[in-house]
Amino acid sequence: MLLAGCAGEMSIMDPAGPAASHQFWVWWTMLFVSVVVALAVIALWLYTFRRREQPQRTPRQEQRIMLRLVLGGGILLPVVSIVALLVFAAPTGRGMLPLPLPEREAERIEVVGHQWWWEVRYPGENGEPDVVTANRLMMPAGEPVDFRLTSADVIHAFWIPRLGGKRDMVPGRYSTIRLEADAPGVFGAQCAEFCGAQHTGMLLHVEALERNEFDAWLADRRVPPGPIDDEDAAVRAFGEHCAACHTVAGFPEALIDDEAAHGIQGPDLTDIGSRPTLGAGVMPMEEDAIAYWLQHHQTLKPGNRMPPHNHLDAETLQDIGAWLETMEP
Ligand code: HEC
Ligand SMILES: [Cu+2]
């Protein structure tokens, strides 16, 4: 049963990138060394039971033996073993630093922790706009990616167990961690710093794509969105009840009623129709899932920062949900 925890999409025992496999070996080495130390201590302890008669020693001899034990076992041994482990582990930490690369710059992706969801930004080059999405992280495979991390509220931690990590996300501060996926694939990720009631409901879907697919994915999201019909009832309702917290690129400014925000920011919904989950991984995205989420989000994810919408009738929520499901590049 214990070993069942060693597999799966969030297992550190199944590394899928250089940082994670370094950490994996550090982990095994530390385990091995500590088992050897523990066994040696137990053996010495048993040995003291077996020894019957006390040798006769003068107090001077006793003192000398004691001094040797303190210097050897108390200072020398720990210093040597800790330095050895440090030398062994230091390259692992170095590999995750955003150091300059020989050929080209590493892809840079910004991730912002929010209670309790993830904002993901792909900075534009030469005046291109940032691509902003939420709760899904796309990255190119087979090359280093620098994740620039921060938080909008409390301390969160960014952790993709199979790629390595983890790193705290501290409000008002940026820190960068370099990770790489060996091959395309889907990885689980989870906030790794207790951040309030819905800490466990703060999951991130990570997908590594071939470079050309990643570029295409990003390029799709750089195309300016088509016009949004400002006569549509669902669009107007979204403007009135939702747009204060949620951005949809190209949404008509005139329809946005800022009253509803209460200082809370919600996930960007520009590509919501193409995302695999809702509520930072608490439910899968499928047909009519958004309408379901809008009616039940406080039971699916109790305490989340989106207020309940019970002042809106089911039909309005259904229409808004159906319209949002069409939002994809
Ligand atoms: C006061 C701000 C606020 C208002 C108003 C609001 N939301 Fe939200 N919404 C949030 C927050 C915060 C979340 C993230 C909840 C979580 O996962 O913890 C969220 C999550 C969502 C999600 C899931 C997004 C994802 O990436 O999984 C959808 C869809 C959504 N809201 C739609 C709506 C719609 C439609 C309305 C209007 C009827 C609305 N919201 C009104 C703050 C708001
Ligand atoms: Cu957390």
CATH number at residue 190: 2.60.40.420
2-27 average pLDDT score: 82
**Sign of the Cα pseudo-torsion (203, 205, 206, 211, in order):** negative
Q: Is the pLDDT of residue 127 over 70?
A: yes
Whether 135 and 205 have beta carbons less than 8 Å apart is answered as yes
Distance 1 CA to ligand 1 centre (A): 38
| Backbone angles phi and psi of 109, in degrees to 5 | -130, 135
Least confident residue range of 44-58, 132-146, 163-177, 192-206 = 44-58
Are residues 33 and 132 part of one domain? yes
**123 and 198, same domain (yes or no):** yes
End-of-domain residue from the set 173, 203, 223: 223
Q: How many domains does the chain have?
A: 2
For ligand 1, residues with CB inside 6 Å are 116-117, 134-135, 198, 238, 241-242, 244-246, 260-262, 264, 266-267, 269, 272, 278-280, 290, 293-294, 301, 304-307, 309, 320, 324
Cβ-based neighbour number of residue 58 at 10 Å: 8
Residue 128 and residue 193 in one domain? yes
Question: Residue 208's pLDDT is what?
Answer: 96
Indicate if 252 and 187 belong to the same structural domain. no
Looking at residues 197-223, what average pLDDT do you find? 94
- Ligand 2 centroid – CA 68 distance (Å): 48
Residue after which a domain boundary falls, among 223, 248, 281:
223
Quote the domain boundaries for residue 321. Answer: 233-325
293, part of any domain? yes
Half-sphere exposure of 259 (CA within 13 A, CB side): 6
Name the amino acid, one letter, at 275: R
Is the pLDDT at 182 greater than 80? The verdict is yes
The answer to the question of residue 77 being in a domain is no
- Max CA separation in the chain (angstroms): 101
For tokens 């496999």, the residue is 21
Instruction: Quote the CA–CA distance of 119 and 49 in Å, as a whole number.
Output: 61
Q: Is the pTM of this model over 0.75?
A: yes
